[in-house]
Structure 1
Amino acid sequence: MDNKKMMHIGIKKGEVGKYVFLPGSPERTEKIAKYFDNAKEIAFNREYRTFIGTLDGELVAVTSTGIGGPSAAIAIEELSAIGVDTMIRIGTCASMSPKVKKGDIVVPSGAVKMEGTSSHYLPVEFPAVPNFEILKILTNSLDSQKIKYHTDVSITKDSFYSQTNPERSPVSNTLIRKWDEYIRGGATTTSMECSILFAVGAALGIRTASMLVSATNAKSFEGQEPGDSYDLEDYVIRAGIEGMRQIIKSDKNSKF
């Protein structure tokens, strides 16, 4: 195992440390890695692209997971197998509530499991929640940066278009009813990886959390336009980088 590259992510034990960012898009790995010291790309296989570097002298990495649950679970499993124990998803989400505006930061306190991947790891009754210690450090970091954020429940879905255009599905009535029930219960955003990250992380005994930026206003599904003057991805990446610095600092302090 020590000298063998993992089948999908293409890296082996010793090439990364214990801290990893998990964006979806391979292109986003570059945007995150530019904030590392001594950043370099070490692998790119399928949807899995990895850069390493350092933050405050600590080895960190960023690995893309692609879109959705199955590919994210593979990345999480293989990274855990080579020694990673702290994974932070950095990415975008869509607002399902007027409470969350386009450009707002979201640190989900839990996720609705509207997907099938997590059922391969934990019973359906087991909640999909981030590691509380990491959640607290990330929100404290945002407070110190004076950044507004939300910590509500998010919805993790398996299908993008059955949400944006549910009427095309034969089970549209069921889909629309479920979305309404989730929102009435207090869920405010949606994405495609959070519950998988939280559930697989719990099953493997590692620390996970997510920091997202809303790319839309409530139920608009329009996202950021190419000509928008403010880079929403960079906004959440910079906030996440600072959050990871605080996690590293907290871990170092806890050793003394």
Structure 2
Amino acid sequence: MKTIADKSLSALPILAHQTAEPSVFLPENLLAQASSMKGEGQAKIPACCLLDFDGELIAVAQKHFAARTSPDWPCFHTSLLILEQDGFEMGLIGGTVGAPFAVLVCEQLIACGCRHLIGYSSAGAVGRQQKPPFLMVPDRAMRDEGTSYHYLPPAPRVDVRGQLPAILSRQAKTCGLPVCRGTTWTTDAPYRETATQIEQHRTAGVRTVEMEAAALMALAQVKKVEIASLLHVTNTMATGDNDFHKGPDDINRKVIECCLAAMREAIEQNHQ
């Protein structure tokens, strides 16, 4: 009897998606139903949004930026905060950890008119070029998760698109930590990061590991929107004595400020 290992890799469900075929289940339809069930109309939300995967920015946004909960966000499973600075508005959603959930929420934001998104998360250091803590804005991701394969045909990696990543990288220098660009490794299984895998990626020049960037890059390509990832590299997979030290005490406030500045600049450039 043949095992699955004997069959073509293209027969594996994760690689067999017809990515050019439209979906039956659309975020626009879900949001319309949700708005109807809540007895509300779909109102306009900010044109840009920061997804805080770890949920660490919420309290800071409320304390230092007077962030308020939007009554117009029709999504059932998240809350959308709105931050305003000098007349410029940015959305903030916390706790969207992992590629499937991050992309699900981004799909709904895009359906509501959002065209610029930043995903902020903690990450592990794979390369030895720099010791944590530091920030990285990836320009490429290794696709070791499942979500990106529902959007793009099978390939080892995916690249970023648009101006936002470069703008974010420049603005992130105000956060008080070293900032770099490079390749990240996106995985669905952080507790299955083996020594062999880490060394293979390190040899290939990969600098970080996290859970969302590849899927967000794939979504950005398909939806023709700008999505950047800001990785707060704080650890070496819990193998070092100083792991999970985040840097300056006010790093969360500085991250919000740099994302606001990056979003404003990107949107202004697009309107020129």
Change (3 A) 1:24 1:215: same
**Deviation of 1:143 (Å):** 5.3
Contact (CA 8 Å) 1:98, 1:217: kept in 2 or not? no
Matched, 1:154 2:184: yes
Match of 1:111, SS state, is: strand
Cα distance between partner residues in 1 of 2:158 and 2:64: 30
The one-letter code matched in structure 2 to 1:39 is: A
Contact (CA 8 Å) 1:16, 1:59: kept in 2 or not? no
The residue correspondences of 1:118-129 to structure 2 (distance < 5 A) are 118-125=148-155, 127-129=157-159
Change (3 A) 1:123 1:95: same
Aligned to 1:198: 217
The one-letter code matched in structure 1 to 2:54 is: S
Match of 1:107, SS state, is: strand
Change (3 A) 1:219 1:25: closer
The residue correspondences of 1:180-219 to structure 2 (distance < 5 A) are 180-217=199-236
Task: Figure out how many residues of one structure are paired with residues of the other and give that number.
Answer: 236
**Deviation of 1:65 (Å):** 4.9
Unaligned runs of 5+ in 1: 167-175
Match of 2:140 among 110, 124, 143: 110
Aligned to 1:41: 69
Aligned to 1:247: 266
Match of 1:101 among 126, 131, 147: 131
What do the CA deviations read for 1:35-54 (whole angstroms, capped 9, x no partner)? Answer: 54x520136854x2320132
The one-letter code matched in structure 2 to 1:41 is: T
Change (3 A) 1:29 1:116: same
Percent sequence identity is: 20
Cα distance between partner residues in 1 of 2:254 and 2:83: 20
Change (3 A) 1:220 1:244: farther
Matched, 1:224 2:244: yes
Larger Rg: 2
Contact (CA 8 Å) 1:212, 1:236: kept in 2 or not? no
Cα distance between partner residues in 1 of 2:64 and 2:267: 15
Matched, 1:66 2:96: yes
Unaligned runs of 5+ in 2: 1-27
Q: TM-score, normalised by structure 2?
A: 0.74
Cα distance between partner residues in 1 of 2:248 and 2:176: 22
Aligned to 1:141: 171
Cα distance between partner residues in 1 of 2:177 and 2:210: 21
Match of 1:179 among 194, 198, 201: 198
Change (3 A) 1:79 1:71: same
